[in-house]
A and B are shown apart, each in its own frame.
Chain A
Amino acid sequence: AQKVTQAQTEISVVEKEDVTLDCVYETRDTTYYLFWYKQPPSGELVFLIRRNSFDEQNEISGRYSWNFQKSTSSFNFTITASQVVDSAVYFCALSESKGAGSYQLTFGKGTKLSVIP
């Protein structure tokens, strides 16, 4: 079973529309960390947010917002008033214990967002 599921493989929106990228994770740990990364066409990974399992507060940063719900094991990402520069692949990732003091960062398969002018 996938640890991190990003069910939307590709999404296209028209500029200025809002869009939500879904992320569902699976873990038995009580302490874990969730991340979102953006990968623009240039290929580098751009860090967007880190959230620990004890902090369920939603977060807003400009046009970006994140909704963390432990009850549904989801960590969804919303872009408000999308812009062409938001076109990228977005990855959700989970850091959890593998046992014996070891942790692993596991990525979802990514959602490719295309914002059409």
Chain B
Amino acid sequence: EAQVTQNPRYLITVTGKKLTVTCSQNMNHEYMSWYRQDPGLGLRQIYYSMNVEVTDKGDVPEGYKVSRKEKRNFPLILESPSPNQTSLYFCASSPLMTGAYGYTFGSGTRLTVV
């Protein structure tokens, strides 16, 4: 089944403890992206990747890192999480960045930083 898999689905952590949210797609998509969703703000892009080893900042990149060492994986790294990073996170992938073929989203990761 074609899908984007995020792990974990739920995570509660403490301020300052490094964490990684994994994202993997099995569709050979070139484009991958991370979003965070906060009440009243919709989804905002954190980082995106056009291909292996090519990443760029979205609208809200502060406090996050990403890497794209292989096509299928695009992990989101929070080196020193803070409570304002408590959010619902989505990973997405697409054959083309333009969206001409649509985007496939993961099921989401609900992160709480205390």
Contact = CB atoms under 8 A, between A and B. Distances in A.
Given A45-B90, A95-B98, A108 B42 contact: yes
Nearest to A39: B37
> Which of B88, B92, B97, B110 gathers the greatest number of chain A CB atoms within 10 Å?
B97
B50 interface: yes
Contact of A109 (B40, B103, B107, B108): B40
A47 B100 CA distance: 14
A43 B88 contact: yes
> Which of A9, A102, A103 gathers the greatest number of chain B CB atoms within 10 Å?
A103
User: Size class of A's contact patch?
Assistant: 20 to 34
Contacts, number: 56
Contacts of B40: 9, 109
Interface residues of B, number: 26
Give the dominant DSSP class at B's interface.
strand
A75 B54 CA distance: 32
B108 A105 contact: no
A33 interface: yes
Contacts of B44: 107
Contacts of A33: 98-100
Interface of A: 9, 31, 33, 35, 37, 43-45, 47, 50, 52, 91, 93, 95, 97, 102-110
